[in-house]
Amino acid sequence: MNEEIENIHIGEVDDIEVGSVENFEHEEIDYAIFHLESGFFATQGHCYCEEQAFLSEANIEGEELECASCGNTFSIVSGDPISDLDLPPLKIYDVTEEEDDIFLNL
């Protein structure tokens, strides 16, 4: 099987302030792109639960996100649940920086 990685241009490094998150849509799928002190990270765009809250509306505390709708917390880096260990982990994606540009690697 030939599994090619698709590098999708998200924007420029300065488009997302450190400590904030933006939604990015690609082929009708939402992704949450986080810019932290430690770099760029991406998770699925919505949580799994009924509200399907946008994770781009989450509050960021260090490397954790707090769902703006229900208050559950997850690691932005690993996707692992923190506040409720029964929740499934969030899907995470690789983001790379090349000079001033950021790419989502799917």
Structure tokens at 14: 């300065």
Nearer to ligand FES, 39 or 71 (CB): 71
The string of DSSP letters for 39-55 reads EEEEEESB-SSTT--BG
Nearer to ligand FES, 10 or 65 (CB): 65
Chain residues in the site for ligand FES (CB under 6 A): 47, 49, 51, 53, 67, 69-70, 72
Q: Shortest approach of ligand FES to residue 90 CB, angstroms?
A: 9
Nearer to ligand FES, 52 or 105 (CB): 52
DSSP code at position 14: G
First-to-last C-alpha distance (Å) of the chain: 16
